[in-house]
Chain A
Amino acid sequence: MRNTFSEALYQEATKNPDIYIVVADISPAGSMSKFSSQYPERFINVGVAEQSMIGICAGLALKGCQPFAYTIATFSLYRPFEMVRDDLGYQNLPVTVVGMGAGIIYSTLGGTHHTMEDIAIAGAIPNMQIVAPCDPAECTEATRWCARQKNGPVYLRIGKAGEPDLTRSAEPWRFGKLRYLRRGEDVCILSYGVITKMAMDLADRLASQGKSVSVVSAHTVKPLDREGIIEALQRHRQVIVIEEHVPQGGLAPQTKQIAWDIKAPCRLDTFTLQDSFIHNYGGHNDLLAAHGLSLERIAAAIA
């Protein structure tokens, strides 16, 4: 995903001289070398100084530029939180804060590098928009949109590398709208970000059992497509939310709230990370499984 982010941003930068990227001692891989060599004056590395990364982006945006802040998600959002809130949110500036490797992708680096509560934290800031693409192609769409929007700040939650393509046969990407990656009649799985792959695998399994399954990329987590969620809750007899985020403040509780508001007739199951830090190690899937997020566990729970 970070490669497609870099490529998409580079393409946008060739067309728009106001696009800047301010990174904190971490380089978006691949195409970013093209950006930094071709536009060195618009590629700023602040070093290990995330507060100034956000503040510099704010200053650029106050002068009409379209900046991106980029580093590992914990350091792009948590470390400079008050700058994100005051400089970007309060002033409502069109700065994209890229949270790379969000969720628990950095599985062996420990809890300091796990981004488990970013949706709740970013989403609580007025004016903040949140986009979390599910695969590299969707990341390209999201990046392009971020480079052109003037609504206000965006938290762009992306993965790292090697994510599979999930959106080849999906409908077009539109900011603020649920995106059906496949459409079915019985079950609807709502997800966003890298873990959408698990939703697709679950759909395959349910389909092999004769069920007709929808899979939705809820890529725009804020503002959430409330009408789209209502439609999903009304059109399917079972809705499942799979989310790589703590139980508070993410897609799962918001979906439950909407379901309650409209007295949704469907069954609704939500699967999230737990409200606890992770002290064990292994691959990404090992850590997800430690919090109950595995195909087997979810399939058993919804049977």
Chain B
Amino acid sequence: MSGTNAMATRSNRFDLGSARERCRRFRRRILDISQQVSALHIGSAYSCTEIVDCIYFALMRRNSDGGSPDTFLMSKGHGCMIQYVILEELGILSRAELDAYCTPEGKLGVHPDYGNPGIAAATGSLGHGLSMVCGMALAERGRKTGGTIYTVLSDGEVQEGSTWEATMMASSLRLGNIVAFMDNNDFQSLGRTSETHPSFYPVVEKFRAFGWEAVEVDGHDSRALFEAVTGRDGDKPLMVVAKTTKGKGVSYMENVPIWHYRSPNKDEYQQALRELEAAR
């Protein structure tokens, strides 16, 4: 993802129709892979599908060689299935590599592993991503590359003290080249965050209090996500709190915690397939 950004471009027009079609296709591909293995975090991937799609296809600039001066680090590593299928779409991962997901023949696991194509960091453990993002942003600033670091955090990992250390440092170091999204699906393993940890909210104000620019948008509205970033001031790190639905796109998965881990059985697969096709 290196190279000069003098030629790097971002498409000025945001095509909502294409984004919707891509996201439907990505959810379908994840659903198909779910029939091969049990461990998937399908709900976590569906919750941030529009966010990660927006980062790769609308926000990150592209060099003529296909690389980017910008970086994406998936801090909520358990959602990386959406990143895998996008990397497949971009030709960075192969279909064979995705088909071998979680098998002895493959190299892709449930969490992103540094060293695999297109993976910026190993983030299976939560609360590590944002500090690494700060370090990357510092390096880009030091080299005057103009590179922006994009990241997606889960709302669960924003409970980690280490995330708040990094939150403080990002603004203290005035790292305006950080754009973070919080996948705010309000669910973690043991239930609704708003019920188990009511003092977690209001969260947008917490980031503002730490010196970030922070906005709240519908995390399944691709245009709103795009405009939240392109419309920012730019001198502070940006946190886009994206209100999302865990398991978005498949009715029986939406807001049902078991789909953090489970894969659909045959009948459930067929129903999900119908629902995703109906969304065309």
Q: Are B142 and A52 in contact (CB under 8 A)?
A: no
- Binary per-residue interface labels of chain A (45-69) against chain B in the complex, 1 for a CB within 8 Å, 0 otherwise: 0110101101111111111110100
Q: Are A59 and B133 in contact (CB under 8 A)?
A: yes
The interface stretch among B50-58, B123-131, B262-270, B271-279 is B123-131
Tell me which residues across on chain A come within 8 A of B140, comparing CB atoms. 63
Task: Determine if B100 is an interface residue (Cβ-Cβ < 8 Å).
Answer: no
Q: Are A87 and B132 in contact (CB under 8 A)?
A: yes
- Contact A55/B125 with A49-B168, A91-B114 known, Cβ cut-off 8 Å: no
Q: Are B128 and A86 in contact (CB under 8 A)?
A: yes
Tell me which residues across on chain A come within 8 A of B134, comparing CB atoms. 52, 55-56, 59
Minimum Cβ distance to chain B for residue A17 (Å): 7
Minimum Cβ distance to chain A for residue B172 (Å): 8
Tell me which residues across on chain A come within 8 A of B122, comparing CB atoms. 86-87, 90-91
Tell me which residues across on chain B come within 8 A of A298, comparing CB atoms. none
Tell me which residues across on chain A come within 8 A of B93, comparing CB atoms. none
Minimum Cβ distance to chain A for residue B117 (Å): 15
Minimum Cβ distance to chain A for residue B200 (Å): 20
Could you say which interface size class chain A belongs to? 20 to 34
Provide the bound-state CA to CA distance between A41 and B139, in Å: 10
Provide the bound-state CA to CA distance between A87 and B128, in Å: 8
What is the interface size of chain B, counting residues whose CB is below 8 A from a CB of the partner? 30
Q: Are A91 and B121 in contact (CB under 8 A)?
A: yes
Task: Determine if A201 is an interface residue (Cβ-Cβ < 8 Å).
Answer: no
Q: Are A62 and B121 in contact (CB under 8 A)?
A: yes
Interface residues of B, Cβ cutoff 8 Å to A:
114-115, 120-122, 124-125, 127-128, 130-143, 161-162, 165-166, 168-169, 173
Given contacts A52-B162, A55-B132, A63-B143, 6 further A-B contacts (CB under 8 A): A17-B142, A54-B131, A56-B132, A56-B138, A58-B131, A60-B136
Closest B residue to A45 by CB, please name it: B172
Among A20, A59, A65, A83, residue most surrounded by chain B Cβ atoms (within 10 Å): A59
Tell me which residues across on chain B come within 8 A of A83, comparing CB atoms. 128, 131, 162
Interface of chain A, main secondary structure? helix
Tell me which residues across on chain A come within 8 A of B132, comparing CB atoms. 55-56, 58-59, 62, 87
Task: Determine if A44 is an interface residue (Cβ-Cβ < 8 Å).
Answer: yes
- Complex A-B: 18 CB contacts under 8 Å: A47-B168, A49-B169, A52-B162, A55-B128, A56-B166, A57-B135, A59-B132, A59-B134, A60-B138, A63-B135, A65-B135, A65-B139, A67-B135, A83-B128, A86-B125, A87-B131, A90-B122, A91-B114
Provide the bound-state CA to CA distance between A54 and B166, in Å: 11
Task: Determine if A42 is an interface residue (Cβ-Cβ < 8 Å).
Answer: yes
Q: Are A56 and B114 in contact (CB under 8 A)?
A: no
Minimum Cβ distance to chain B for residue A275 (Å): 29
Q: Nearest 6 CB-CB pairs, A to B?
A: A59-B135, A55-B131, A63-B139, A52-B165, A59-B132, A49-B165
Closest A residue to B173 by CB, please name it: A44
Provide the bound-state CA to CA distance between A64 and B120, in Å: 12
Q: Are A51 and B131 in contact (CB under 8 A)?
A: yes
Closest B residue to A91 by CB, please name it: B114
Q: Are A20 and B166 in contact (CB under 8 A)?
A: no
Q: Are A52 and B131 in contact (CB under 8 A)?
A: yes
Tell me which residues across on chain A come within 8 A of B125, comparing CB atoms. 82, 86
